[in-house]
Amino acid sequence: MKKTDLVQTTKNIRKALLMMNHRSNASHSGSALSIVELLTVLYFKYLNVDPENPKDPKRDKFILSKGHASSGLYATLAERGFFDKSYLDRFYVDNGILPGHIDFEAAPGLESAAGSLGHGLSVGMGMAIAAKYQKLKSRVVVMISDGELNEGSIWEPLLLAPHLKLDNLTVIVDYNKIQSFGITNEVINLEPLNEKLKAFNWHVIEINGHDMKEIEQALNAKTSQPKIIIAHTIKGKGVSYMENKLEWHYRSPNKELLDQAYGEIDN
């Protein structure tokens, strides 16, 4: 896919997820907007997945451990053709298909339930270990949030994965600097994060999480250790009134704000 097409894809995904959250009055637009470039590169440039054969045992697997950003993942999967875009109209509503936090039975392409933080990395590790045992080339990518690094259960797999030399496992930290009820490093200071993860024997790559070239290079970097990509992102990226605002962890855009957001995204 060409660069111009990829940019258009990010626009489609941003508009779709905002429409979903507008329609259902749902939260977490900011958390979904920060990962749109990451999701776009994953699903359109990196992951070996086939919407026609979503259960192929040889496929790569992606787990969105920060399950509250589900609107971003659903919009991306629909854009990639895993299911019809009409599914997106049935997000977070009565008689819906797609719940606010991920039910992996809800639609094709979802690899794990998510919503309770601090699970996805361990589940992904289990998949990575299984792939090695089964001699499959399948790679596993898990995306966690910066706030999720507060969870004790995250540090168990962070200790174990390098010990097991799981070079088929990649973690992306969506470092958007704002968590549920405060500025991430004011709630609990994660810094120095890079050095911390290096000290745990991860291969650490730090990037601008909105630069798709950097994202692609980081994903393709060959390492003998499991890899963590610290993706510096902006919460609410692409919508001026949402950017770096904690309230957009919760609020849902009304029609007027949605129109404004669409205008900004299209320009």
Q: Of 114 and 231, which CB lies nearer to other proteins in the complex structure?
A: 114
How would DSSP label each residue in 65-90?
A: SSGGGHHHHHHHHHHTTSS-GGGGGG
**Residues near other proteins, by CB under 8 A:** 57, 103-104, 111-113, 115-116, 118-119, 122-131, 133-134, 152-153, 156-157, 159-160
CA distance between the termini of the chain: 21
Q: With residue 229 as reference, give the H or E element that holds it.
A: strand 227-232
What's the CA gap between 59 and 138, in Å, rounded? 6
Minimum Å gap between C-beta 102 and other proteins is: 10
**Residue 170: exposure state from Cβ atoms within 10 A (0-12, 13-18, ≥19):** buried
Q: Of 47 and 160, which CB lies nearer to other proteins in the complex structure?
A: 160
Minimum Å gap between C-beta 123 and other proteins is: 4
Residues in the chain: 267
Q: Of 169 and 215, which CB lies nearer to other proteins in the complex structure?
A: 169
Q: Of 100 and 157, which CB lies nearer to other proteins in the complex structure?
A: 157
Minimum Å gap between C-beta 190 and other proteins is: 20
Q: Of 57 and 182, which CB lies nearer to other proteins in the complex structure?
A: 57
At which residue do the structure tokens 């605002």 appear?
A: 245
Minimum Å gap between C-beta 264 and other proteins is: 36
Q: 88 and 20 in contact (C-beta within 8 Å)? A: yes
Minimum Å gap between C-beta 137 and other proteins is: 13
Q: 74 and 20 in contact (C-beta within 8 Å)? A: yes
